[in-house]
Amino acid sequence: IEESEKFRIEYWELEEAKLRRTPAPKPLATRIALVTGGGSGIGRAIAHRLAAEGAAVAVADLDGERARTVAGELGGPDRAVAVTADVSSEQGIADALRAATLAFGGVDLVVNNAGISISKPLLETTAADWDRQHAIMARGSFLVSREAARIMTEQGLGGDIVYIVSKNGVVAGPDNIAYGAAKADQAHQVRLLAAELGGHGIRVNGVNPDGVVRGSGIFAGGWGAQRAAVYGVPEEKLGEFYARRTLLGREVLPEHVANAVFALTGGELSHTTGLHIPVDAGVAAAFLR
Ligand code: NAD
C-alpha cells in the first residue's frame, strides 16, 4: 500500500472510531442540568423550560433566595435543587456542581447564564470594572465549563454546554467595552470548547439574545436606565424601543431565549456544535437607521 493510501485508511479508521465513540444526546427527560444565574430573568426561564421537558435542574445563583424561589417553582427536591454559588469563585463553582451531582447523580447539561453588565464609555471604565465583568462572565463560564467537562468526560455519556452570550459579543454596542469584550470571550469559548470536547460527544453552543428587558435584573438594576439615556428614550419605553428596532418588530422575552436552549439541547439539533443562535428578532443581522 502506498503511503498516501495508508494515510487515507488510517484517517477513515480514526473517523469511524470517533463516530462509534461519541454518544448521541439523551432525551431531556433523562438529563441533569445546571443553570447558573438561574434565579432571575433568562436563567429562570431556561430552568423552567428544561424542567418542563423533564430534566432535573440545579438552579445556581449568587442570590440564594432567588435560586430557592425558582427551584421551588420547578417542583420538589427530586426535580430541582437550589444552590447559592458565585461563579467568579472556584469554590462557588465546585459547590454548584456538587449540589447537582449529589442531588441527581451527575450533570450532563450546563447553561452558562450568570452575568452582570458593567457598561461605560472606555475612558470611564476602570481596571476594577474590567476585572469584575470578566471574572463573572469570561473566567466564570470558562471554569464552569472546565469543571462540567471533567464530570461529563468521566461519565462518558456526552452532554451539552450552552453559553448565553449576547448580540454584544458579536457586534459593537455603545459604551460597552467591558461587557462586550467579556461576551466576545464567551463567544470564542463556544468555538474552542466545541473543537476540544466534540470527540467526547459534548456539544457546545451559544445563544445570543438582545433587548430582553422584561424580567431582566440586569435591565432593572441600572443597565436599563443607562441604555435609556444612551438611546434617548424613557426607561419605561425601553422594551418597546428595542422591539421597534428589530427586523421583526417584536419584543424578545426570556422564554424566547429558553426556546433556543431547548432547540439546542432537546435532540433535534443533535449534530450541531460550535454554533451561535441569535435570539434578537433580527437586530444583529442588519444595520438599521
Ligand atoms: P438577570 O440579572 O435577570 O439574571 C442574571 C442572574 O445572574 C441573576 O439572578 C444574578 O443574581 C446572577 N448572577 C450575577 N452574578 C453572579 C455570580 N457571580 N454568580 C452567580 N450568579 C450570578 O439578567 P438577565 O437579563 O436574565 O441576563 C442573563 C444572561 O443573559 C446574562 O449573561 C446576560 O449578559 C445575558 N444577556 C441578557 C440580555 C438581555 O437583553 N437581558 C441580552 C444579551 C445577553
Cell 449529589: give the residue. Answer: 102
Question: What are the grid coordinates assigned to 17, written together?
Answer: 472510531
In contact, 190 and 165? CB cutoff 8 Å: yes
Residues 6+ apart with CB under 8 A from 241: 231, 233
15-46 b/e with 16+ CB inside 10 Å = b?
eeeeeeeeeebbebeebbbbbbbbbbbbbbbb
Task: For residue range 12-24, list pLDDT tens digits in order.
Answer: 777 666 666 688 8
Mean pLDDT of 71-76: 96
Task: For residue range 145-196, list pLDDT tens digits in order.
Answer: 999 999 999 999 999 999 999 999 999 988 999 999 999 999 999 999 999 9
Residue 134 in contact with ligand 1 by CB distance below 6 A: no
Q: Is the pLDDT of residue 111 over 80?
A: yes
Sign of the alpha-carbon dihedral angle for 9, 14, 18, 20: positive
Closest Cα to atom 42 of ligand 1: 210
Residues 6+ apart with CB under 8 A from 169: 180, 182, 183, 184, 185, 186, 187, 208
- Reported ipTM: 0.99
Residue 112 in contact with ligand 1 by CB distance below 6 A: no
Q: Is the pLDDT of residue 65 over 90?
A: yes
Catalytic residue numbers, as ranges: 179
Closest Cα to atom 33 of ligand 1: 115
Report the pLDDT value the prediction gives residue 18, as an integer from 0 to 100. Answer: 64
